Amino acid sequence: MAVLEADILSLSPRTIEKNLETIFRKLGVENRTAAAALAMHEP
């Protein structure tokens, strides 16, 4: 998935991966699914 996003945004896949890791760490989750679930339960 990061490769597709990287192509669309003209960034390296590694940049996408690192940014996602940072976001997941701040949210206290481990993956996109958990982040989406968290977002669905936020008011």
Q: What is the pLDDT of residue 12?
A: 94
Q: What is the pLDDT of residue 25?
A: 98
15 close to 6: Cβ distance less than 8 angstroms: yes
Query: What is the pTM for the complete model shown?
Result: 0.79
29 — phi, psi (to 5°)?
-125, 170
The boundaries of the domain holding residue 26 are 2-41
- pLDDT tens by residue, 2-43: 888 989 999 999 999 999 999 999 999 999 999 999 999 977
Q: Structural domain tally of the chain?
A: 1
